[in-house]
Amino acid sequence: MDIEIIGIRKIPLIKKNDDIAELILKALNTENIDIEDEDVFVIAETIISKSEGNIIDLDGIKPTSRAIELANKTGKDPRLVEAVIEESNDIIKVGHDFIISETKHGFICANAGIDESNVDGGKATPIPQDPDKSAHKIRDKIFKAAQKNVVVIISDTQGRPFREGAVGVAVGIFGMNPLWDMKGETDLYGKKLKTTIIAVADELASAASVLMGQADEEVPVVIIRGVEYVEKLKNDFSTAKSLIRPKKYDVFR
């Protein structure tokens, strides 16, 4: 399987009410890139939040006593800590420079997924309110315009237990199952797999982040082409929430 990863560079800085699907289609036209069936569009969650007006104004936040307490423990801006609390269902772990929380979506990540990069000073972007719905909306518009069956993944960059550094992960998806349950399939020696489930949406988000980067790369949208299992995993009902491990099985909490 040969895979092609294509960065879309003609996306302008996003403002509230911008139509992400329309901007993607315009950029593809400018760059003479055709859309093909089973293309996977990976889109940075920051531009989704910006287009939906989901912006946190840190200057307008008055920290509570709890936020000030956590800020003193972590060295973080008390206003940011208050935003983390407001975007979280639960604060799970607090360290010398981090806050691990469960977001309103159920994701476990640092700072509730709030990002202060690639946004105006004094502002921050949380994870989109409903990234699966956002992915669905963008996918439908692309299909209507191109008549191609594509997948849309909304990606974020998050850390992982017991490992340094951050990688791309899927926080929203439409068009395919984010998990590939391989139980019952055989390995090279004919042995049946018993427990193997692959988080393919996270793998694709991580692959896209190689081009997206984290700084001034200006590549908020990536197409991944040639992924053979997309057709096999095609599904218009799955959501990224199936990637979340149930709390009773989460041994890292």
Is the pLDDT assigned to residue 215 strictly greater than 70? no
Burial zone of 172 (CB within 10 Å; 0-12 exposed, 13-18 middle, 19+ buried): buried
Token pair in block for residue 95: 């360290």
CATH number of 56-123: 3.90.1660.10
- In Å, how far are 26, 50, 51 from 18, measured between CA atoms? 13, 8, 5
Q: What is the mean pLDDT of the chain?
A: 93
User: pLDDT-derived band of residue 177, with 50, 70 and 90 as boundaries?
Assistant: very high
Q: What is the mean pLDDT of residues 71-88?
A: 96
* CATH number assigned to the domain with residue range 4-54+128-249, chosen from the 4 options 3.30.1330.100, 3.40.50.880, 3.40.640.10, 3.20.20.70: 3.30.1330.100
Is the pLDDT assigned to residue 62 strictly greater than 70? yes
Predicted confidence at residue 179, as pLDDT, reads: 97
Is the pLDDT assigned to residue 214 strictly greater than 80? no
- Please name the residues in contact with 9: beta carbons below 8 A apart, sequence gap of 6 or more: 27, 31, 218, 219
Instruction: Tell me which residue has tokens 């983390």.
Output: 84
H helix or E strand, kind and range, residue 143: helix 131-146
Residue 9, number of CB atoms within 10 A of its CB: 14
